[in-house]
């Protein structure tokens, strides 16, 4: 028994090593914006577009990744393949820095735009694609695979308690120490090839350590995708569109023994989908049950209805993702040219990311404590209120960012720095701290609110997939940020006026774009309130005695979700 416990603990550490490598990589990749503007000398709008498409794609790809996990690979193989892709991607990113390949031919030996050739560009964009695949795979499978190790069998329950006692220490190392070390150390590594190369090496080592425990892991095979069930409902209801609906919903097909998930009560809305559960009188029931593309269970129909009812709420998250897209692009570019000194101490840029993550985690924890303090009659509305508060923070964040940018432009004009984009602006970067904190609070409240919403409002079989869909919609919002910048710039150029976005940040009017985002967020929160009021809520499924267990699960999710 002691040997089994030792093996189990070793397995946990080998999995969590991937989290450590991901956090280190995240702090390096977070600086892509400054790398593109400082080394590649591209316009800050093009650099922002590249970063946002990369970040958005890694979120949208989660839908495909979870489908592969459920139907073909399982969590273990998804982790392995995504870790390999992540390692190769980071390696290509390091190789794409100008001097690495240029030194071999003797053509260039510095980090300058003229040293960048076609080979470097090809490697760079391939690296972004591979890293997006790696991030998507880790976000989908890392937490799920860890819980598979913790919750298997009666023996596993005893080992889970002993292993869980080690998780706070491991979590502290992963979430506190490594970000601090990364934030302090990475900015002092001057060569970009080394700055990107260290996370690449660490990811390779983490992948090898993870694979060394492949014989001791508990592996669960593919269990089938709910996406397929949703498609089956649409196909079956279309094939039976000519059939009349029965007067009593009890006449619809429901086999309680086929599936393990909890049954979902029948609802009256979207009744056209109920036709998928109509039992044909012309064929024996046993024959109809063999073809699940023509006969679906009522529970499957209701899961499809739940998914469709989520669409209006998901659409309101696009603007949230659009606001979040400015955090690691425009905010970072502003900070890159502001005074980084606090007294005689030079503050590295990743410290702002640490404050962002701190606000993100604290807002989620305060929200969770507050919601569980409400009565049962109010608690079911808590998740929707949390998301609404997050959207309110998005408005405050945009207003704060606009006012700070107005001040920054004033300092630039006062000191004659309009045509000197590489000069340090005599304005401390801590002016940007409030907007980073508000953006972190927005992220924490929205994600925790969505997590609690799906826990209470949808059946267990859909909860994880609904979260992935939400993350994908936020990712689509990040990609939409590229389109919004283009449209806003074209509109601002009407009448022969200078556009709000120029080649350099100093000559641009980023403050006006922030005001535009504030207006869009205000309209968006009004639409969200209407959708939230219209939605039919179930009573919260969380009892008071369940709070500690859920709280522990949320804390662990915070550990592994921060990696990207």
Among positive and negative, which fits the CA dihedral 462, 464, 469, 474?
Answer: positive
As given in the structure block, the two tokens for residue 122 are 């090809």
**Axis-axis angle for helices 433-457, 298-324 (nearest 10):** 180
Cα R_g (the chain), whole angstroms = 25
Q: How far apart are CA 435 and CA 265, in angstroms?
A: 44
As given in the structure block, the two tokens for residue 211 are 């694979």
Q: How far apart are CA 41 and CA 44, in angstroms?
A: 9
> What global pTM score does this model have?
0.83
Residue 219, pLDDT score: 80
Q: How many C-beta neighbours within 10 Å does residue 552 have?
A: 13
Q: Which residues have C-beta within 8 Å of that of residue 187, sequence separation ≥ 6?
A: 348, 349, 350
Reference 27, options 175, 233, 173; nearest CA is 175
Q: How far apart are CA 37 and CA 51, in angstroms?
A: 11
Kind plus residue range of the DSSP H or E element containing 428: strand 425-428
Burial per residue of 72-108, b for 16 or more beta-carbon CB atoms within 10 angstroms, e otherwise: ebbbbbbbbbbbbbbbbbbbbbbbbbbbbbbeeeeeb
Residue 24, pLDDT score: 82
As given in the structure block, the two tokens for residue 382 are 């808590």
Residue 528, pLDDT score: 93
Residue 487, pLDDT score: 92
As given in the structure block, the two tokens for residue 26 are 């995240």
End-to-end CA distance of the chain: 36
Q: How far apart are CA 531 and CA 525, in angstroms?
A: 10
Q: How far apart are CA 94 and CA 342, in angstroms?
A: 31
Domain 310-564: CATH superfamily, name plus number: MFS general substrate transporter like domains (1.20.1250.20)
Reference 469, options 175, 230, 150; nearest CA is 230
Residues forming beta bridges with residue 346, ordered by sequence position = 341
Residue 255, pLDDT score: 58
Residue 319 CB-half CA count within 13 A: 27
Residue 406, pLDDT score: 93
Residue ranges matching CATH 1.20.1250.20 in the chain: 1-221, 310-564
Strand 425-428 relative to strand 345-346, pairing: unpaired
Q: How far apart are CA 183 and CA 23, in angstroms?
A: 11
- Tens of pLDDT along the chain (564 residues) come to 444 454 455 567 777 888 888 888 888 888 898 889 888 888 889 999 999 999 999 999 999 999 999 888 888 899 999 999 999 999 999 988 877 666 545 557 667 777 787 888 899 999 999 999 999 999 998 888 887 777 654 444 444 444 444 444 555 555 566 666 666 666 677 788 888 888 899 899 989 988 887 788 888 878 888 888 888 989 888 888 888 887 777 777 775 544 444 566 777 778 888 888 888 777 767 777 777 788 888 888 888 888 888 888 889 999 999 999 998 899 999 998 898 888 888 888 888 888 998 899 888 888 877 776 665 656 677 788 888 999 999 999 999 999 999 999 999 998 888 888 788 899 999 999 999 999 999 999 988 888 888 877 777 777 778 888 888 999 999 999 999 999 999 998 887 788 898 888 888 899 999 999 999 999 999 999 999 888 777 655 544 444 444 444 444 444 444 444
Q: Does domain 1-221 have CATH number 1.10.3720.10?
A: no
As given in the structure block, the two tokens for residue 233 are 């409902």
Q: How far apart are CA 63 and CA 67, in angstroms?
A: 6
Residue with tokens 């390692």: 87
**Axis-axis angle for helices 226-239, 460-492 (nearest 10):** 90
| CB-based burial label for 190 (10 Å; 0-12, 13-18, 19+) | exposed
CA angle 451, 9, 455 (to 5 degrees): 10
**Dihedral (C-alpha) 260, 265, 268, 273: value to the nearest 10 degrees?**
0
């Amino acid at each position: 028994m002691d040997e089994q416990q030792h093996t189990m603990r070793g397995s946990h550490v080998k999995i969590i090593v991937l989290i450590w490598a991901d956090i280190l990589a995240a702090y390096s990749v977070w600086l892509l914006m400054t790398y593109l503007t400082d080394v590649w000398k591209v316009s800050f709008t093009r650099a922002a577009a590249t970063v946002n498409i990369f970040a958005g794609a890694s979120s949208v790809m989660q839908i495909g990744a979870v489908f592969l996990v459920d139907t073909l690979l399982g969590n273990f193989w998804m982790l392995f393949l995504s870790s390999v892709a992540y390692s190769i991607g980071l390696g290509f990113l390091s190789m794409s820095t100008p001097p690495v390949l240029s030194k071999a031919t003797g053509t260039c030996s510095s980090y300058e735009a003229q040293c960048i050739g076609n080979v470097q560009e090809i490697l760079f964009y391939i690296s972004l694609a591979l890293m997006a695949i790696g991030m998507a795979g880790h976000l989908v499978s890392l937490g799920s695979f860890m819980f598979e190790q913790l919750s298997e069998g009666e023996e596993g329950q005893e080992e889970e308690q002993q292993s869980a006692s080690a998780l706070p220490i491991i979590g502290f190392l992963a979430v506190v120490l490594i970000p601090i070390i990364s934030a302090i150390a990475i900015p002092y590594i001057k060569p970009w090839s080394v700055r990107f190369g260290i996370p690449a090496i660490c990811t390779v080592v983490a992948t090898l350590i993870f694979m060394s425990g492949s014989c001791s892991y508990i592996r669960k095979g593919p269990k089938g995708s709910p996406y397929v069930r949703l498609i089956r409902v649409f196909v079956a209801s279309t094939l039976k569109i000519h059939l009349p609906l029965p007067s009593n919903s009890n006449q619809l097909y429901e086999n309680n023994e086929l599936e393990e998930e909890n049954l979902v009560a029948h609802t009256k809305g979207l009744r056209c989908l109920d036709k998928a559960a109509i039992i044909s009188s012309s064929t024996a029931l046993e024959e109809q049950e063999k073809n699940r593309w023509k006969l679906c269970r009522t529970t499957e129909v209701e899961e499809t209805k739940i998914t469709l009812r989520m669409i209006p709420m998901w659409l309101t998250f696009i603007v949230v993702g659009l606001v979040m897209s400015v955090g690691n692009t425009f905010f970072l570019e502003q900070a890159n040219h502001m005074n980084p000194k606090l007294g005689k101490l030079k503050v590295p840029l990743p410290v702002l990311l640490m404050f962002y993550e701190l606000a993100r985690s604290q807002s989620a924890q305060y929200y969770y404590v507050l919601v569980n303090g409400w009565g049962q009659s109010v608690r079911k509305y808590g998740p929707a209120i949390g998301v609404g508060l997050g959207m309110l923070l998005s408005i405050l964040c945009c207003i704060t960012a606009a006012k700070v940018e107005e001040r920054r432009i004033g300092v630039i004009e006062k000191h004659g720095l309009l045509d000197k984009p590489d000069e340090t602006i005599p304005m401390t970067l801590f002016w940007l701290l409030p907007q980073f904190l508000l953006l972190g609070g927005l992220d924490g409240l929205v994600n925790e609110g969505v997590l609690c919403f799906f826990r209470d409002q949808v059946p267990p079989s859909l909860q994880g997939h609904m979260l992935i869909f939400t993350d994908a919609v936020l990712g689509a919002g990040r990609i939409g940020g590229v389109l919004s910048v283009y449209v806003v710039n074209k509109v601002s150029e009407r009448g022969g006026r200078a556009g709000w976005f120029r080649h350099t940040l100093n000559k641009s009017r980023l403050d006006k774009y922030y005001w535009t985002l504030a207006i869009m967020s205000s309209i968006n929160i009004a639409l969200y309130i209407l959708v939230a009021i219209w939605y039919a809520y179930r009573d919260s499924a969380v009892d008071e005695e369940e709070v500690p267990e859920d709280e522990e699960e949320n804390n662990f999710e915070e550990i592994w979700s921060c990696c990207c």
